[in-house]
Structure 1
């Protein structure tokens, strides 16, 4: 699936507004493009201001740079979102993996960092913006986790532990918010080839990063995931896709992948 350029265009003031995190690259960036094309007013957030500026020029989205591991910056992001008007959808894409060590070799600092960027960032954002959604009459909380949230694989214990923990936030929220007009959606992608996820995981080792996708004819793309995210948000408000697992056809599980070599 290819990503068409998103023309910068005027969006009506009464269009639904979405906040998308992790918007500087990969699935987050693709989601901003898709939502803008679907008629949303989008506030895109990430750490890298230059990437956000380029995305704003392309899509006419609003932007706000923030590090989601920093309480003060999350609070500032939430304040900015409120200042723009009613919020319909919180779309939390940001996260990541560090290393592929066996349990016996794992570094506690890597595990702690993954817990912060995956679990605590989701907690901070939810706490900062849930009241905003309520005040605006309801909306959506969508969290992108991973198939690592439901099954382990060798060399992935730190990441799968973090994603298993992150998964419990939307799962518990759905129970706590039942009866309120707020949908809680979790999207779990499998093997997605993006420009940075594996490269960051392998600390800049391009060869190791490329090996993740070696021989897989058609891994998922960021745009595949963005299409599913947009679909889930644009369904009628009473329809909640609680949990969606997305994998390429060549992947049966986290450990069973068909490779053409």
Structure 2
């Protein structure tokens, strides 16, 4: 990530910034000297600049969005009975941005919306999520983009690939051996990945981008990496296992639209992605939850 003194006058409200992904972004932006960021949490804590519940306190959410160039909605539910809250959280962000006059809303979606057929997934492709999480994120996208168009609010759903350190592979605390699905040909899962520092830079470029942005963007480093290569690059012990029936071998996001919007992005490599993570999160520590 290129060192940067700030967001060029922009103010960004990060909602849900105390989760695992938010903690990584906080470290990455702090390392780059980025300013102009306001961090929200639902309860008072040292990391929070603003405390409010985005679903139960819409007026506080709207006040927090006042004067913001962008609202970044990271809050979400990844499993369990609360998956429908992803739609509610997205809608709350759009309404608050509109009420507060924020220029743009960026909402964290997921590569999971593409389902199994994701070998060169483009934003214009037909999506077919196979998991409840992917379906919930797709429903969030559809609802917020329809509402944003109705009220004239710029909103952008970011289909983010795996983020090193926020994932189950490199984000676990201990050094216990990892069991990895192996497919025909003796290869492990192939995934679009992003180092946290590269992701932080991508998000800042999107905040600063002039003109209109696409409503949906794939977000990852160009290319894809094998999970076993990431484990090897991180010096981790891992054990192969026969791929489970539900395992997906390939999720590769096409990033041409993203790069045409904000410029070239560092291509993915296992060594580079692990180095990106370990510059801000040494192996002995954890990025947060």
TM range (shorter): 0.5 to 0.7
User: Aligned match of 1:228 in 180, 197, 202?
Assistant: 202
Long gaps (5+) in structure 2: 118-128, 182-187, 227-246, 252-268, 272-289
Contact 2:110 2:134 in 1 (8 A): yes
Deviation at residue 235 of structure 1 after TM alignment: 0.9
User: Is 2:22 the partner of 1:28?
Assistant: yes
Contact 1:23 1:45 in 2 (8 A): yes
Secondary structure of residue in 2 paired with 1:133 = helix
Deviation at residue 151 of structure 1 after TM alignment: 1.2
Distance 1:25 1:234 in 2: 24
Distance 2:16 2:178 in 1: 20
Secondary structure of residue in 1 paired with 2:194 = coil
User: Is 2:97 the partner of 1:133?
Assistant: yes
Distance 1:197 1:167 in 2: 20
User: Aligned match of 1:92 in 73, 83, 89?
Assistant: 73
What residue number does 1:175 align with?
146
Contact 1:97 1:197 in 2 (8 A): no
Secondary structure of residue in 1 paired with 2:98 = helix
Deviation at residue 148 of structure 1 after TM alignment: 1.2
What residue number does 2:113 align with?
149
Can you list the C-alpha shifts for 1:29-61, whole angstroms capped at 9, x where unaligned? 3445549969763221246755xx2x47xxxxx
User: Is 2:176 the partner of 1:207?
Assistant: yes
Distance 2:156 2:102 in 1: 14
Return 30-39 or 239-248, whichever deviates more: 30-39
User: Aligned match of 1:187 in 158, 167, 185?
Assistant: 158
Secondary structure of residue in 1 paired with 2:104 = strand
Contact 2:14 2:38 in 1 (8 A): yes
- Taking the TM superposition and a 5 Å limit, the aligned residue runs for 1:35-184 are 41-46=36-41, 49-50=44-45, 53=46, 55=47, 62-64=49-51, 71-72=55-56, 75=57, 79=60, 82=63, 85-95=66-76, 97=78, 110=80, 112-113=81-82, 115=83, 119-124=84-89, 126-127=91-92, 129-152=93-116, 160-178=131-149, 181-184=152-155
Distance 1:190 1:237 in 2: 25
Return 80-89 or 140-149, whichever deviates more: 80-89
Deviation at residue 120 of structure 1 after TM alignment: 0.7
Distance 1:79 1:36 in 2: 30
What residue number does 1:105 align with?
none
Contact 1:31 1:227 in 2 (8 A): no
User: Aligned match of 2:11 in 13, 17, 26?
Assistant: 17
Counterparts in 2 of 1:85 and 1:174: CA distance versus 1, 3 Å? closer
User: Aligned match of 2:216 in 239, 242, 247?
Assistant: 242
Long gaps (5+) in structure 1: 57-61, 99-109
Distance 1:140 1:199 in 2: 32
RMSD: 4.8
Counterparts in 2 of 1:26 and 1:88: CA distance versus 1, 3 Å? same
Contact 1:147 1:189 in 2 (8 A): yes
